[in-house]
Amino acid sequence: MEQVLKHSARWAAGLPLAVCRPRWAALRCCSTREQPSPRPAPAAGGPEEGPPPGGTGRPPPPALPAVSGAAAGSGAPRVGRPWHKAEERRGRPAAASRERWGWSGGDFSKARRRLKQQPLSVERTKGSEILFGIAPCSLALSQSRRDLFRLFLKQSSGSRRLVMSEFVLQATARGVPVHHVTRRELDALCRGRVHQGVCLEATPLHFKSLEEAEKPDLGDEESPNRQLIWLVLEQIKDPMNLGALLRSAYFLGVDRVVASQRNSCPLTPTVSKASSGTMEVFDVYSTDDLRSFLKAKTAEGWEVVGTVSKPEEVENVPVISCLEFRWNKPIIIVIGSEGDGLSLETQLLCHRMLAIPPGRVLHPGIESLNVSVATGILLHSICSQKLRHSD
């Protein structure tokens, strides 16, 4: 055995094939503990071949492919040798050579992991969208504002099982098919967003038209001071901000939300998730002519109040602190986008502008609030007066 290993080392060092082949064949037999295949019986009437002179009676090893250079091998690629180039010189495609030698060891597990990472495709109903999250899906199931197609639930156990059972009951009551799927399938459905184990295929929600909505009852002349508050959004493009605005408006008692159609975010599943499902129960209206809408409400006796983060940037419109604002008639609070604020044309249609006083001297560059946070502060300051009047 020791001599066999020595000759194998000579082969690895690049010695001639004639010296190494017999020993390499013996090493293969010893290392694999395999016996040479028996000689096939000669064909009937054919000449019988005897063992080669001086041989052992064993069949010769299979012919080895020729390798350029002084070294020769047993058909297995040498370490560090560009084997696919040798295959190309023999007329075989390099891709076939790589495929021949690439599927060994851990390559199968790597391919399996790559397959798992590929996104799954679920054939959706035409015109549908995927809601995600516990609150949006639960409220969408409880309302009749959407057409519902399929409910997807994560296979779960423990405390989550009770929540999923409630979803099954809701879906069964609405006649919605329920599919229990893996987390990876849910991730693919909602494109990696936070789904909390629930997705719902449904038709989209759209803004309601102000022209089609019923007009609110402002009361007769005997009660002209009835407090109504509408929130108007000008060019809110971020779905997370829009969802947070809807959630705050609903919680604090805003009567109606109106969004400008131009450069505004639609009512997407992300908006519903950011609103914690508020969008599923709270009507949102839109107008394609914000200026005409504000002028019409002013003619009806409403007060239009704008918002600003930097009072020095406003001209020809009085600016007061939200803590000083008092109201005794229906008002419209107009909120602009986080980056640009209200447009100049909209500012000139406002009777007053509200600002939030900071609690300290602000460092340059940190002089404003997120639009949804600022709106929550303003609405709380104003709507708290409404609550006091109703007591």
d(CA 82, CA 85): 6
Q: What is the pTM of this model?
A: 0.66
Helix, coil or strand: residue 264: coil
Residue 280: HSE in the Cβ half-sphere, 13 Å Cα cutoff: 28
* pLDDT at residue 76, as a whole number: 46
Angle at 235 between CA 233 and CA 237, to 5 degrees: 110
* pLDDT at residue 83, as a whole number: 47
* pLDDT at residue 28, as a whole number: 53
* pLDDT at residue 339, as a whole number: 79
d(CA 269, CA 156): 23
Torsional sign, CA 53, 54, 57, 62: negative
Q: What is the mean pLDDT of each run of 10 residues along the chain (391 residues)?
A: 56 53 52 50 47 51 47 45 50 50 54 51 80 94 93 75 85 92 86 86 93 54 65 95 96 95 92 96 94 95 91 84 89 90 92 91 84 94 74 51
* pLDDT at residue 80, as a whole number: 46
